[in-house]
Structure 1
């Protein structure tokens, strides 16, 4: 029982680390550049995962999982990191983080589509609520405004497109890898592949050379620990901890992430922003609740005389 609590705490630690990722990635990319900073973060994360999770043999994974799953993973992580790094300012970076958290609702939607099972019509208003929450936040302090929403997106279409694409990619990844992974996890290889892809992009970018000092190295190590350490702890938590508790807490990551981002980046978020965050979080919980697997009723046996 005590060991189970320890693994559950490890999962809770992972949720905390995941919640800090948006702020930490933004912090590093401000100092080292959007591409170079992201490449350094994923390189450090890959090393941390090699030391903690290990580097399993590639032959133990199916070719389809490595190619398709790996491609989706690398694409998602690049979309996430670059959308945060290329945001116009810190507030917009937090918006990118919130857009990223559309993936829980999208994951549920794709699961329903792929399985072709019937589901309550309430799923679709719930999904709409998550997008409404993002639109509410991106519109600014005046609440939902289509003209302001369009103007904000047009101010940085690349970042917004990357963030939204990442949410769709991760939702597809979650559904496909569940079918292809056969219970195995190539996360270390996927992180290494992401680092390589970012270094290739850095070679063809026009970013200035990266300059390192103690504060930059400290922030880089924190970001790498949050990414790599978060996945390592989460792996422990879901394998041996209280999965129901961890799954429930994970749906509140948008709230935790927004709060930590505001604290770490020195932002004061408006009530309108928080309203959008609550909408996205509540929509995720609704989507999960509507499509959860209900336990089959146990038949009542008649007592024998």
Structure 2
């Protein structure tokens, strides 16, 4: 496994904490959480990029900004809305359709071969997610908008991630600017559509942790993984994230631990292991 793919795996670990930290933010409106967390993550990244003397790399063309801001802002605005409007565990799991979509879209968009073993790994991971969604999940009419947001953010993140390979000339440092622009866009939308809530100490802590990890360092690691690593493998290994995220939600009182969760974890781990052991024919031919 390449170092870039390993970097992408680091992002997956950080994203396992996205839902618990979002729930820790409590009653803050979705767009307000998005704005505050992106501001924190963007400012931290800006300091790092400035310390490296690489601020000039943030000057990018319109397509790069549309791709970066559209992916980051679009996904997280929909994700936080889903958690606010629907039951957390179910919405979080529907959001994790994006690993399946990444693996499947890597074929038609990037021309990468999938192969039967990788597709079998995807199927096992998807079966684990489906089992979790069916483990006592309820779909009240009032939550349907939240579930729609969850599916929407899965589509946005999958398309953003796969097309990042086509944007390999855009340096990772530019993400600092994309985060700050996303914070500004989310802040303006918040002022237009939501009522501001003054965060308490716990909510500020949640926002800072979101900005440092899932909405900060994770983007840089994921960017390296998708541009220079194997998106098929990362998409399949990402099936471990909903299991870890669900277990963290259960630990914080957002759901119940059942035998189905354990079985789903085995399916997800098995699917990731199967996909990880696939030998890449293109790599074999290059040696």
What is the TM-score normalised by the length of structure 2? Answer: 0.76
1:260 matched residue in structure 2: 248
Distance in 1 between the 2:79 and 2:279 partners? 27
1:135 matched residue in structure 2: 130
2:27 matched residue in structure 1: 31
Question: Counterpart of 1:225 in 2: which secondary structure?
Answer: helix
Distance in 1 between the 2:225 and 2:130 partners? 33
1:81 matched residue in structure 2: 80
2:157 matched residue in structure 1: 170
Distance in 1 between the 2:286 and 2:153 partners? 42
Distance in 2 between the 1:222 and 1:133 partners? 29
2:184 matched residue in structure 1: 196
| Alpha carbons of structure 1 residues 234 and 59: separation in structure 2 relative to 1, 3 Å | closer
Retained in 2: the 8 A contact 1:132–1:279? yes
- 5+ residue gaps, structure 1, are 142-148, 300-305
Deviations 1:163-183 (A, max 9, x none): 122222212112212112315
278-287 vs 168-177, which deviates more? Answer: 278-287
214-223 vs 273-282, which deviates more? Answer: 273-282
Distance in 1 between the 2:215 and 2:33 partners? 15
Measured after TM superposition, the shift of residue 286 of structure 1 is: 4.5
Distance in 1 between the 2:279 and 2:224 partners? 23
What is the TM-score normalised by the length of structure 1? Answer: 0.72
Q: Does 1:222 align with 2:212?
A: no
171-180 vs 262-271, which deviates more? Answer: 262-271
Measured after TM superposition, the shift of residue 197 of structure 1 is: 2.4
Q: Does 1:271 align with 2:266?
A: no
| Alpha carbons of structure 1 residues 49 and 96: separation in structure 2 relative to 1, 3 Å | farther
Deviations 1:139-175 (A, max 9, x none): 234xxxxxxx7x6164411221111222222121122
Task: Determine which structure has more spread, i.e. the larger CA radius of gyration.
Answer: 1
| Alpha carbons of structure 1 residues 177 and 56: separation in structure 2 relative to 1, 3 Å | farther
Retained in 1: the 8 A contact 2:93–2:133? no
2:43 matched residue in structure 1: 47
2:147 matched residue in structure 1: 160
1:146 matched residue in structure 2: none
Measured after TM superposition, the shift of residue 19 of structure 1 is: 1.7
